Amino acid sequence: MLPMNDRLISAAKGLATDRTPIWLMRQAGRILPEYRKVRETAKDFKTLVKTPELATEVTIQPVDILGVDAAIIFSDILVIPEAMGLNYEMEENKGPVFPKRITSEADLASLHIAQAEELQYVLDAIRLTKKELQGKVPLIGFAGAPWTIFSYMIEGKGSKTFSQAKKMLYTQPAFSHRLLDMIAQSTIHYLKAQIKAGADIVQIFDSWAGILSPDQYAEFSLKYISKICDALGNDVPKIVFAKGAFFARAEMNTINCDVVGLDWNMGIAESRALLPNKVLQGNLDPCALYGSLDDVRRETKKMLNAFGPHKHIANLGHGLYPDTEVDKVKCYIDTVKEYSATLRR
């Protein structure tokens, strides 16, 4: 059964819609006072992720408060390495840190391919969210791309260069492929279970795509994203968002996904030409939301004119920044809804 507002699913399938659907990466988060209130009741970020009732509450908040056309389950891409046997910690204002890194054969031997039941708390949150949404909007499931997960597991934390992770690709390519394949298999189990639990559409986030060369990206990242997309089949639409991988757009046109997310550095007309088989998602610069309300409206209309009225899902070129004002976010969403409808008349 399709949700009452099925614009996102229809658009992802390339079907015509009465207006452009919109959702935002990191829409459930620190920009909302309501989120911060729930966050204070959880002792830390991981408690919030691992408590289905709390995860459900913050997943649904942006639907009710901002009026987005989809909910995205509140979780983190790093639940996969944790399920594989590598624990992570989320340090306040610093981001993720792994007390132990993967640097040797012995480290690799300590990991296993994660099974869906090891991420039961996410699946429970999906089921509960679907129940609470009552068919209002679709629910997006997600996972990190194997290369991005690999980067954190090797580096042990975020990095500007991820030089340790890249070094591993050059010095130990066979080792790298074994770990990437384990991550890919874990992710297939995880996303299949999300779909079974009720996710209407899934997105693969490749946050660190842009730090690889085109050849390395083809070998160590896109190959595994393609493997995941093939394994998931065609039960629900699939979105691939590879930040910074402007050089891989032509190759992305050939993989088994329905939607390709663009960051703000990717030209819209050029992307249309390189990705004729795909619906495009994006791609307003999150910093555009720091402008005045009139600035936000102008930039939004400019973006919508460039994408045109069909085969487009509105989003940002990356996640919302936590210091963005709620009224600017609402202005972006409302302008997409109102102006995109006029482009279809």
Catalytic residue among 26, 127, 272, 298: 26
26 tagged catalytic: yes
Which one-letter amino acid corresponds to residue 123?
L
Rounded Cα–Cα distance for residues 197 and 204 (Å): 17
Q: Annotated binding residue at 27?
A: yes
DSSP state of 233: T
297 tagged catalytic: no
Catalytic residue among 88, 152, 217, 224: 152
Tell me: cis bond preceding 87? Omega within 30 of 0 counts: no
Q: Annotated binding residue at 76?
A: yes
Phi-psi region of 65 (alpha: psi -120 to 50; beta: other; left: phi over 0): alpha
Q: Annotated binding residue at 26?
A: yes
Q: Annotated binding residue at 29?
A: yes
Residue with tokens 């995860």, as numbered in its chain: 55
76 tagged catalytic: yes
39 tagged catalytic: yes
30 tagged catalytic: yes
Catalytic residue among 7, 19, 69, 76: 76
Q: Annotated binding residue at 143?
A: no
| CA dihedral sign, ordered 326, 8, 5, 59 | negative
Q: Annotated binding residue at 181?
A: no
DSSP state of 81: H
Would you say 184 and 228 are in contact if contact means Cβ atoms under 8 Å apart?
A: yes
Other C-beta atoms closer than 10 Å to the C-beta of 42 total 16
Q: Annotated binding residue at 207?
A: yes
Active-site amino acid positions: 26, 30, 39, 76, 152
Annotated binding-site ranges for substrate: 26-30, 76, 152, 207, 318
